[in-house]
Structure 1
Amino acid sequence: MRIRRLVASTFLCLVTSTAGALEVFPLLGSPETDLGTGLGQVNYFADASPFFIDVTAANEGNNIAVYTMDGASANNGAGFSIAVSNGENGIDSTEDGANADVPNLQPVNPAIASVNGGGKLQNGNAFRVSMWMRQDPADPVSAVPQIEPVVKFELWKEAGSGNADFSSTAFPGFGDRIWDTDQNAGDATFNGFNQSQASWVDMNNSGSTSFSKPVAQSLVADEWRLIEATLVIDDDPLDDTLNWSIGGDFFSVDAIEEVRAVMFLGDYAGTNLTGAGSVWVDNVLLEIFATEAELNSTANPNPMPVGVTALSGDFNADGLVNAADYTVWRDNFGAADEGALNGAGNGAGGVDDADYDLWAANYGESTPQPGVAATGAAPEPSAIVLLLGLASAPLLRRGR
């Protein structure tokens, strides 16, 4: 199976291979600074009051990012993005020269190349971004901004650009962004065309989200909950042979210079968010698959943040001890450490018979987590993994 993963947490990026090699590359610059749209890194931002971010915060020794709302709205937002390069597209300009090309000096990201035989993105490739979120137990969410958290993907013909038409029309009329799973795929025009949609987060557990968007997940203060969004590359979303368009210009998959995974919350309505509370974010994971079928058949390996007590025998961390966990144990039997067991093994001796006995003794047990779906079969252990961005030190230790 061809699969590559890019992981984000706060300070480290890791690269592992089937040979078990591990390299650590510290990120440059202060993590509290808005890092812009630099390719290949996680870019946190909180533009101005009432949104603030602390990416040096910790919970039970685990590094987390904390987004706080406090003050009157000033037409701005907060969140993060992960920019992944697809190389230079060779386009000089579009819209009659209104958008001059800036060469993308970053090569095709190794994760993209690895699922495409060394080449660039292709139609049919699939992305998944996931993260764990919760309300701050000491500062729960009491009011929400105009735009509650939305997790989405954007495709850009100009890497690093912020020049985009953010209307909700079927296609943008200008700019460099050619597809957005919130703005574009969410348009009614694409209903029935199997387009990947953004995921909206009900951050105060009210049962609804901004603009009456479907609730993908609701946040509470007493547990972490998994949020994820997907994108399947399809440059002819309406099957009308016209491809994506910016105004009168049409683009194929070859025009993509950047894939951008985004989490965003913001307010442009003057909402009073004084003392409105905080949300935590941890273990951001970005994956790319060769096909949608591989995405759908591969479990989300994103582990719950450190500080959550695992259910013994629940090797795939879905809150249930069942046959799916046996599959994880079987596929990883003999591994020198228990990293694949999500902290639910016996904690000694690698993946061995003792872990099987633990699974058997707890078969049928559960710790339900509302809204967190079972993850199904485990990923193949031979898959090469590319981790980019921010893996906290506790997560690194667990991975070892």
Structure 2
Amino acid sequence: MAISLSFSESTCQAPTQPKGPPVPKAMDPVAEVDVIPPRFLNKPRTVSGFGTFEASDHLIVKAPQRGVIQKVQYNEGDQVKIDDTLCTFRGDEINNQINAKQTEIKAAQTELDSLKNMLQGFRNSQAGEPSPNNTPPPEPLFLDEEAPSHVVPPKPMGIVNPEPVQNQAELETKIHTLEAKLETLTKELASLEESLKGLTIRATIQGMIRKRNVTDGAIVESGDALFEIVTLNPITLTFFVPQDVTSYVDKDIKVTGNPTSAPELKTDGLVYYVSPAIDPVKRMLELKAHLPNDKGLIREGQEGQATVVTRRVDQVWVIPKKSIVTFEGKNYIYVQTGNQARKTEVVLGEPTGNEEVIADANLRIDDLILTTGLDSVKDGSFIKITQSLGQK
């Protein structure tokens, strides 16, 4: 049995070493920089919606009774406050009724007083006392004086002589009947005076006269519409938000709104109504908010937009303003990668008020952002960290 062996020559090679970070050459500049890590900020999520501005309150003022309008105090477009007099009815008929009722009450009161005096006279006579109506005995005369003739004083106007009374019981019955009558007359007078107040029509809400349906001297029927008043301060913005945020919106959450065509009229308010159901056609949720309209520049029917602060909280990046560079209309930051600078685009949000700004960027929590030496670096430049802020 023969065995054959074959050999081949090969060159022995050392194992491949892992590639290290780029090393600057002798002529490569190295920028000395300070760095700082980004930080997270818990920020409530906001959502935008669109809708229409409407009056926050609406009132139709109706005539409480049939009558003639004596005076109209306001015109269309005028502003009114609560309890302002809008118009008055002519009150001749009611005033005549009030005068007649007052005369009737006065006569009844006079008769009642007379009957009570008679009753007191009955009681005094039974007790042997002088009657309150008895006149005192005349003073004695001197020899040369003549007795004065008896003069009967004239009966005052409006005094009603009570009917003759047979006995004390009958007198007491008449007094009780007259007292009940007087009480009824007093209530009727109060009712007439209350009706007289109803002749003055007052505003029960604050707002603007949108429509006036009456003029001086107009005859109106009970229930006729006299005025239409709307409240435009605050004004209501009815708007819709996407259904995917319905679990994070509630009443009394903050909202910022403005007319779509006038963003400079932006104003803050609160949501006061959240629809209990999603609109089946729009697949959106209806919200209503009251917004201040002190100058009256926001009109009914204007299209509006709103930004709502929801209960959903997101974590967002916050970076120093001084770390931002702008190139060709875009914003960038430089992030340390090994011993080089890497340019990263950022989309800026609102400032936080601490020389920082919210940013949307492709960052990691362990990244370090360059804050100095930005004028001498570009994407891929070699850097040397001289100070790392915000790290122990």
Q: Same fold (TM over 0.5)?
A: no
Give the strand-richer structure, 1 or 2.
2
Over alpha carbons, which structure has the higher Rg? 2
What TM-score, normalized to structure 2?
0.17
- Structure with the bigger percentage of helix: 2
